[in-house]
Amino acid sequence: VGARYDSGFQFALEQLKIVFPNLDESKLGELDALNKIVDGKLVPFVPAGAA
């Protein structure tokens, strides 16, 4: 299931590159299926109780 989810995420990134060809590739490299948005910033997802 995880690999399928990641594959779908990568496909979405590829679509972004086509629709918005002038996007900064280095910024796209910061995207990850497991990130979350906190206060308008991307941060790594940490499961509850893992800290």
pTM above 0.75, yes or no: no
% of the chain at pLDDT higher than 70 = 98
Identify the pLDDT of residue 51: 65
As a whole number of angstroms, the distance between CA 40 and CA 11 comes to: 24
Distance in angstroms (rounded) separating the CA atoms of residues 1 and 21:
30
State the Cα–Cα distance between residues 14 and 25, nearest whole angstrom. Answer: 11
What is the percentage of the chain residues whose pLDDT exceeds 90?
A: 47
Joined tokens for residue 5: 């989810």
Q: Does residue 33 register a pLDDT over 70?
A: yes
CA atoms within 13 A on the CB side of 2: 2
Res 3: pLDDT: 83
